[in-house]
Structure 1
Amino acid sequence: MAAAEPFQRVDKVQLARRFGAAARHYDAHARFQQEVGQALLARMPQGGEGTVAAGHRHVADLPESGLDLGCGTGFFLPDLAGCCQRLYGLDLAPGMLAQAARRDSGALLLCGDAEALPFADQSLDWIFSSLALQWCERPVQAFAELHRVLKPGGQLLFSTLLSDSLWQLREAWRTVDESAHVNRFLGLSQLRHAVADGGFALMELESLTWQLAYGELGSLLRDLKGIGASQVNDGRSAGLGNRQRLQRLGEAYEQYRQPDGLLAASYQVCLGRLIRQ
């Protein structure tokens, strides 16, 4: 059965505002996001198809155009600049693009939505997208757009969060109230259906777990707030609540303290490679 559309209600204006407000201090809280992006960079195609090492080849030998979808502060734009002749960076949040403009990447920056890409049909050789697609309201529409703008043989390299991300925080919140304080994401099988329904037949999807560790729960909550990733499903925020509720949350989260004395926080991530036929 194909993934239902829409999977989640997302207020795109609010989402852009949150990420934009976090832009100036985003990189200081984005250790996990940077690690995932580096893992995705390592999977960029080798040889004539475009690669991070491609800067050693003649410019004319590079693919014509590439896109960093959900480029955020532009952290990966300098690395990607050597993978094509013309690089685009696209993000939903103008505040993020303002930070990306401060990097010397040469990328053309655009404000836009993954579900309505501002590119002509079959105009891009490759697309790189790290931890952005999980914010799409209609995953099938997003993958259909990505399929539309890729040239035949073009590739999409992406990472996205899966449904078991931050399960410890979700379970701890359930001891406090019944509100949804943690964002909901697709499971791997739902993602596979969305990819196929979007038009991709050739796909490689791998589920990996990133285990983070924090000395205290407040550090995890500050990281989530610092990157603008507070609860966005259903167009509302349940909030973190008052001091008493946070104290109860902290007490519930203590069951996830590891033998080394640190609190565990797990992210389930899909690293994917799709080819447009």
Structure 2
Amino acid sequence: MSESDRQAPLVDKAALRRHFGRAAAAYESTAVLQDRVGQNLLERLDFLRCTPEWILDLGAGTGLQSRRLNRRFPKARVVAVDIAHPMLLEARRRKGWRQRQSFCQGDAEALPLRSASIDLVYANLCLQWSALDQTLAEIARVLRPGGLLLFTTLGPDTLTELRQSFAAVDAQPHVHPFLDMHDVGDSLQQRGFVDPILDVDHFSLEYGELAHLLRELRGIGAGNALSGRARGLWTPRRWRALSAAYERWRTHGRLPAHYEVIYAHAWAPEPRDVRGETPARAPLRFHPRGKAAG
């Protein structure tokens, strides 16, 4: 995939803010997968040498992972950034914060932070909502030399059942297109990150009815925010066609929803030495399954 493809403005940011804003109050009780993946991502810090003073939790939502980062690094200041202001308002109301905590509304493609001000960027399942190259360029800008980027994002097999079922009804975009692991790795290298390591895990959630899945997606703010999405309400006839198309996936009385989760970490480059040379980079490494130690 070309750089221009990764930069394509696929998401209506105003719609994205509305969706996540409406989901704020009930987000933590609904976002079960996001919580599990976020905890898995935090566990990777056990294998990485990192003692940050300033941490950015990008796409912080209601601050669940920010609070965990806050407890893990009690001497660090955690900056929770999210595109939806109601999410941050909900985060402020939550218990469990230490004193060294900040909240800031902002877009991942234009971070409201000083250059070279952050030691650790943690981003759990948020980068898929923005143009990857632009977001990584912003992360590279705000990271201090040698700083760590630790993130998860969704791969192209995510919600494949829902994507194919919608395709059986019409040709409109309904499910966000997700980049594969190799495109993510290429973008990390092109943005100057050092020693990137990526691997993939797969999750399957089950539902009694399609309506339950769609209600949960809306409940975490993951509604259709594509710029080219169709407007208007669905007719009963189209809804029945969609439900019938999804039924072919039913197994043992349940409807599955598959998620492909990409885990990645990489380092911001150190300053050039007196000869104008940067330290040698290790080759890009992919781990098809399981956790990678840095």
With the length of structure 1 as denominator, give the TM-score of the two structures.
0.89
**Partner SS for 1:172:** helix
Question: What whole-Å deviation, never above 9, does each CA across 1:16-74 have from its counterpart, x for those lacking one?
Answer: 12111111122222111111111111112458624xxxxxxxxxxxx211111000011
**Shift of residue 129, structure 1, vs aligned partner:** 0.7
* Distance (Å, rounded) in 2 between the aligned partners of 1:46 and 1:186: 26
Inter-CA distance 239–187: structure 2 relative to 1 (3 Å threshold): farther
**Shift of residue 91, structure 1, vs aligned partner:** 0.4
**Which residue in 2 is equivalent to 1:229?**
222
Q: Does 1:116 align with 2:116?
A: no
Alignment of 1:173-192 (within 5 A): 173-192=166-185
Question: What whole-Å deviation, never above 9, does each CA across 1:76-103 have from its counterpart, x for those lacking one?
Answer: 1221103252111000110111111112
**Partner SS for 2:61:** coil
Alignment of 1:1-277 (within 5 A): 2-4=2-4, 5-46=6-47, 49-50=50-51, 63-82=52-71, 83=73, 84-104=75-95, 105=97, 106=99, 107-136=101-130, 138-234=131-227, 236-237=229-230, 241-259=234-252, 261-277=253-269
With the length of structure 2 as denominator, give the TM-score of the two structures.
0.84
AA matched with 1:251: A
* Distance (Å, rounded) in 2 between the aligned partners of 1:247 and 1:147: 47
Inter-CA distance 200–225: structure 2 relative to 1 (3 Å threshold): same
* Distance (Å, rounded) in 2 between the aligned partners of 1:45 and 1:89: 22
The runs of 5 or more residues in structure 1 that have no matched partner are: 51-62
* Distance (Å, rounded) in 2 between the aligned partners of 1:174 and 1:85: 47
Inter-CA distance 46–109: structure 2 relative to 1 (3 Å threshold): same
AA matched with 1:168: E
**Shift of residue 237, structure 1, vs aligned partner:** 4.7
* Distance (Å, rounded) in 2 between the aligned partners of 1:123 and 1:3: 27
Answer yes or no: is the 8 Å Cα contact 2:50–2:148 preserved in 1.
Answer: no
* Distance (Å, rounded) in 1 between the aligned partners of 2:243 and 2:229: 23
AA matched with 2:120: W
Answer yes or no: is the 8 Å Cα contact 1:142–1:198 preserved in 2.
Answer: no
**Shift of residue 154, structure 1, vs aligned partner:** 1.1
* Distance (Å, rounded) in 1 between the aligned partners of 2:88 and 2:256: 32
Inter-CA distance 196–121: structure 2 relative to 1 (3 Å threshold): same
Inter-CA distance 237–199: structure 2 relative to 1 (3 Å threshold): farther
> Percent identity at matched positions?
40
**Shift of residue 233, structure 1, vs aligned partner:** 2.0
* Distance (Å, rounded) in 2 between the aligned partners of 1:192 and 1:239: 37
Answer yes or no: is the 8 Å Cα contact 1:2–1:194 preserved in 2.
Answer: no
**Shift of residue 184, structure 1, vs aligned partner:** 1.1
AA matched with 2:44: R
Answer yes or no: is the 8 Å Cα contact 1:3–1:190 preserved in 2.
Answer: no
**Partner SS for 2:62:** coil
AA matched with 2:68: D
**Partner SS for 1:119:** coil
**Partner SS for 1:118:** coil
* Distance (Å, rounded) in 1 between the aligned partners of 2:221 and 2:227: 16
* Distance (Å, rounded) in 1 between the aligned partners of 2:262 and 2:47: 21
Answer yes or no: is the 8 Å Cα contact 2:81–2:106 preserved in 1.
Answer: yes
AA matched with 2:40: A
Question: What whole-Å deviation, never above 9, does each CA across 1:79-131 have from its counterpart, x for those lacking one?
Answer: 11032521110001101111111123242000111111122222111111101
AA matched with 1:94: H
**Partner SS for 2:45:** coil
* Distance (Å, rounded) in 2 between the aligned partners of 1:79 and 1:27: 14
